[in-house]
Structure 1
Amino acid sequence: MSRIFNVAVVGVGIGRSHIVEGYVPNADKFKVLALCDLNVERMTPIADEFGVERRVTSFDDVLAMDNIDVVDICTPPGLHYSMVMAALKAGKHVICEKPLVGSLAQVDEVIAAEKQSKGMLMPVFQYRFGNGIEQAKAIIDAGIAGKPFMGTVETLWRREADYYAIPWRGKWATELGGVLMGHAIHPHDLFTYLMGDIDRVFGRVATRVNPIEVEDTIAASLVMKSGALASLTATLGSADEITRIRLAFENVTIESDHAAYNPGEKPWTIKPRNDETAAKIDALLKDWKHVPSRFQTQMARFHDALIGAAPLPVTSADSRRSLELVTAFYHSSATGEDVPLPIGPGHPLYESWVPAQFRAA
């Protein structure tokens, strides 16, 4: 029988989805022992729903619980850095929602702290998991797809005034960004997961849909390390909602399912250039085993990592790559410059991309 790890979920908004999709289906691997949220009225019915007896409003109380193995941080983005650092210092394993932190400087500090901690850190990128995305990844990793030519990512979602009625949303100090940080960060992660590292970014950001501080519409032109070209577009003003990723390779063209919030689940459209490529794909996938999507598989694979049976399914380095793209986007839009990657300590936005007037004193 595998070890069961005890979990405290901090923040019961998206935290409830972690429980429903991630921990309930993996009840042989995890047990939620505690919930932590400042809003007791919101926390109580969720605790009752899942039979969680331990309910606290203090994060310090969570860290003091000796029998909590995993701290799952689901709070607003502005709180992630301090909570992740404190949990690692306390020797806890840590799961943290996106964005992991609010700058490249912070993510580098987290990576350093992780190396000194007894705990393991897994950022959340749940869209990576499911049959569609994983079959595409398998075809690319097997070398069947061949040379990458071009990729496009469209994140066309809809957010209106009611969404921003929650006080921390739409503000630099608490959300740390807009569509780049809270929405398109997922499809952009899928894109680099499949197409590799970015070499250069030319991007534009704008606020066109809602009267908020942060951006809600973006567009960019990329050059990949492989030499492939790409375009990224996103808006929160679409009438309908889709996430669409289309990748053109030497031997195959791959297009995601268009489901906005779970593009990895259903089979993707795989168009081989010729019969030889089709036969290779059929042979690769003929014994395919179903992969549950989103949090169910990410949490199961985290358990594999905790018991030493597999590497982490998502790493702090993955989060750094996503935040590097965000940093390049903001810098390019502000300066009109093409931004080379990687971005290190000498870059003007390394310490923070948040405009100076919105930074905490």
Structure 2
Amino acid sequence: MPSPLRVAVVGGGAIASFAHMPAFQALPDEIEVVAVVDATAELAQAFADRFGLAYASDDLEGMLAEVRPDLVAVCSPPSLHAAQVAAALRAGAWVWCEKPPCLSLAEYDAMTAAEQEGGPYAAIVFQQRFGSGAQHLRQLIAKGALGAPYVAHCQTTWFRDDAYYAVPWRGRWETEGGGPAMGHGIHQIDLLLELLGEWSEVRAMAARLARDVETDDVTTALVRFESGALATVVNSVLSPRQVSHLRIDLADATLELTHLYGYANDDWTCTPAEHAGEIDWPPAEDVPTSHLKQLRDLVADRRAGRRPRASGRDGRRSLELITAMYKAALTGGTVRAGEVGPGDPFYRSLHGDTPGWSPS
């Protein structure tokens, strides 16, 4: 294995500049960023000049053949993810892809079909599950230390104005895939699934109340988990007081997380039931959520040749639930886990190719 790993960035926008590059630069013994690919040669060169990269191009296939990176960070708009991830995998590079992973389950399955046993693999950026608080509580829940889960609330209520949606690819089915559940709430949804495990059925509603978009600007859902626990999931881009909130009530404790874009241990509140003993909290480490924490784990997995977390079936779970939420909202029915597969129009797109459908 090379040391450091040679990394190429695809898409030199804000998320690459303010999240990925600082994470890469924090691991100089493990990571060397060697190339950037962007929509135009001018944009690529501007990113390369800013970060001192030797190679800049607007040709992904050419870069993959010439540079042969070990890891490709896909930071482009969602509609480009599937083709770019598959191309990198076919070239033998591991991939770290920003959320949402792609626009549909069909795209996800097609791009991950390019993976090989032992690697390369494509991991999705779901950094919120990698904070020490979530990892510690996941272990406690899994071993039954907090009792059976009963009810949960998963909330991503943010604010995005009309200027935010002036970016051409936002708010459109064909380029963003869906509304706030897809573009914003997917992180909190992934964390909910990380803690409570597999879901069994969902009912939902979606609406377009204020923004001039094709998709929705509010979604709500009721989810039943295989454990029997029930959860509400609320996503909005219309909320003046922004918050990301997760609450899980178990037989022996209530767990609450309140934050916005990331958290540390202090952002959790863990309240034991009156009949229960003390909760094993806080964990020994306080590792805030960050791209860096997930990157450290990904590098270790890359060197070991093992499948990373948030890849394959594990990386698909959030997209599968969101797809089921949209199908439930658009059809008015209950959607069960595993129901949306090849042959179902919602497998190909979150709006299910419904002619003339509008969430208003």
Provide the TM-score with structure 1 as the length reference. 0.90
Q: Is the 8 A contact 2:149 2:250 kept in 1?
A: yes
**Corresponding residue number in structure 2 for 1:114:** 115
Aligned pairs for 1:50-199 (under 5 A) are 50-115=51-116, 118-199=119-200
Name the CA shift for 1:276/1:149 in 2 (closer, same or farther; >3 Å): closer
Of residues 318, 330, 333, the one that matches 2:329 is 333
Name the CA shift for 1:35/1:308 in 2 (closer, same or farther; >3 Å): same
**Corresponding residue number in structure 2 for 1:6:** 6
Cα deviation, 1:102-124, whole Å, max 9, x if unaligned, reads: 22222222333213684121111
**Corresponding residue number in structure 1 for 2:272:** 272
**Corresponding residue number in structure 1 for 2:203:** 202
Uncovered stretches (5+) of structure 1, i.e. residues with no partner: none
Cα deviation, 1:177-223, whole Å, max 9, x if unaligned, reads: 11121101110110010011110000011111211001110111111
Q: Is the 8 A contact 2:6 2:70 kept in 1?
A: yes
SS in 2 for 1:161: coil
1:42 positional shift: 4.6
1:37 positional shift: 1.1
Of residues 326, 350, 354, the one that matches 1:353 is 350
Distance 2:338 2:264 in 1: 27
Which stretch shifts more, 178-187 or 64-73? 64-73
Name the CA shift for 1:299/1:85 in 2 (closer, same or farther; >3 Å): same
1:142 positional shift: 3.8
Matched residues, number = 353
Which stretch shifts more, 343-352 or 19-28? 343-352
**Corresponding residue number in structure 2 for 1:291:** 287
SS in 2 for 1:349: helix
Aligned pairs for 1:40-55 (under 5 A) are 40=41, 42-55=43-56
Provide the TM-score with structure 2 as the length reference. 0.91
1:39 positional shift: 4.5
Which stretch shifts more, 198-207 or 44-53? 44-53
Uncovered stretches (5+) of structure 2, i.e. residues with no partner: none
Cα deviation, 1:131-150, whole Å, max 9, x if unaligned, reads: 33233223223421120000
Q: Is the 8 A contact 1:136 1:268 kept in 2?
A: no
Q: Is the 8 A contact 2:44 2:58 kept in 1?
A: no
Aligned pairs for 1:176-255 (under 5 A) are 176-255=177-256
**Corresponding residue number in structure 2 for 1:317:** 313
Distance 2:230 2:195 in 1: 14
**CA-based RMSD:** 2.3
